[in-house]
């Protein structure tokens, strides 16, 4: 059986029959506020608890904000920053040239020598904004996926979804490039809202396709596998 990497998200690892296959590049898609950043932090925190080295590449929040956000869930990253087990790198989407240069020439070497087992990139949608041509977006995204795949680290890419089609990524690209897609949905009826999660695709393994409710609580994301969505 293929070696698995647990996400650390209660219920989701059950839906995945143990976790994400080691070395996969997978995406977590959802609209703002669905918990993508939380997912990425929880995923890395799980790795840190297992003694794995982790890299968080942020295009949104700066390093201090990420540490503060993690702390709000009781995940104290500072000790792991000090011990050199986690590295948080902020890339400036506004500075396209510098960001592309870092991604292409500095990060691969760094990730390899650092020995990262888990990488989170939050978010590829912001990275895609660095290119205005569809062809260039595609090439850069493919390049990024290949780069992280070659490091052997199991990599999570967060992605925003389209406003008018919340089951497709904003650029409609990442879901075709990656080995797995996990979709976070935000639904409401007349009286209530509900967040739900679905594993849309996960290459090489058998997984649940059910849509299950989840909540974000002070210990992070929790999926209710026994629950039903309305």
The smaller minimum CB distance to ligand ADP, of residues 114 and 214, is found at: 214
Which residue, 58, 45, 46, 68, is CA-closest to 158?
58
- Find the shortest distance in angstroms from Cβ 34 to ligand ADP: 4
Encoded one letter per residue, x for contact with ligand ADP by CB under 6 A and - for no contact, window 138-167 reads ------------------------------
Residues 44-73 that bind ligand ADP (CB under 6 A): 72-73
Residues 25-44 that bind Mg ion (CB under 5 A): 36-37
Encoded one letter per residue, x for contact with ligand ADP by CB under 6 A and - for no contact, window 10-49 reads --------------------x-xxxxxxx-----------
- Find the shortest distance in angstroms from Cβ 30 to ligand ADP: 5
Calpha distance 222→12 (Å, rounded) = 8
Calpha distance 222→166 (Å, rounded) = 21
- Find the shortest distance in angstroms from Cβ 31 to ligand ADP: 7
Which residue, 175, 165, 230, 224, is CA-closest to 200?
175
Residue 25 near residue 149, CB atoms below 8 Å: yes
Calpha distance 167→184 (Å, rounded) = 8
Instruction: Choose among ligand ADP, Mg ion, none what residue 73 binds, the Cβ cut-off being 5 to 8 Å by kind.
Output: ligand ADP
The smaller minimum CB distance to ligand ADP, of residues 164 and 218, is found at: 218
- Find the shortest distance in angstroms from Cβ 42 to ligand ADP: 9
| 7 is a contact residue toward Mg ion (CB under 5 A) | no
Instruction: Choose among ligand ADP, Mg ion, none what residue 62 binds, the Cβ cut-off being 5 to 8 Å by kind.
Output: none
| 217 is a contact residue toward ligand ADP (CB under 6 A) | yes
Residue 29 near residue 169, CB atoms below 8 Å: yes
- Find the shortest distance in angstroms from Cβ 50 to ligand ADP: 22
Q: In Å, how far are 91, 126, 134, 176 from 94, measured between CA atoms?
A: 9, 10, 18, 26
Calpha distance 99→92 (Å, rounded) = 6
Token readout for 111 is 């990730």
For 164, other C-beta atoms within 10 Å of its C-beta total 6
Using CB under 6 A as the criterion, which residues of the chain lie in contact with ligand ADP when the complex forms? Answer: 30, 32-38, 72-73, 216-218
């Amino acid at each position: 059986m293929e070696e698995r990497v647990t996400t650390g998200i209660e219920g989701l690892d059950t839906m995945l029959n143990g976790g994400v296959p080691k070395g996969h590049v997978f995406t977590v898609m959802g609209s703002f506020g669905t918990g993508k950043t939380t997912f990425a932090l929880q995923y890395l925190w799980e790795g840190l608890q297992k003694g794995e080295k982790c890299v968080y590449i942020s295009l949104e929040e700066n390093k201090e904000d990420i540490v503060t956000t993690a702390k709000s869930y009781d995940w104290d990253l500072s000790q792991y920053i000090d011990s050199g087990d986690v590295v948080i790198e902020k890339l400036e989407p506004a500075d396209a040239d510098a960001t592309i240069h870092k991604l292409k020439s500095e990060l691969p070497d760094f990730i390899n020598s650092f020995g990262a087992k888990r990488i989170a990139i939050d978010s590829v949608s912001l990275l895609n904004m660095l290119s205005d041509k569809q062809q260039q977006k595609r090439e850069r995204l493919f390049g990024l996926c290949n780069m992280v795949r070659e490091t052997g680290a199991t990599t999570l890419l967060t992605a925003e979804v389209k406003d008018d089609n919340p089951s497709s990524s904003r650029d409609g690209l990442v879901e075709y490039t990656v080995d797995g897609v996990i979709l976070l949905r935000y639904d409401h009826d007349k009286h209530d809202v509900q967040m739900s999660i679905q594993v849309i695709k996960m290459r090489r393994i058998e997984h649940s396709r059910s849509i299950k409710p989840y909540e974000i609580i002070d210990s992070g994301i929790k999926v209710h596998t026994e629950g039903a969505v309305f």
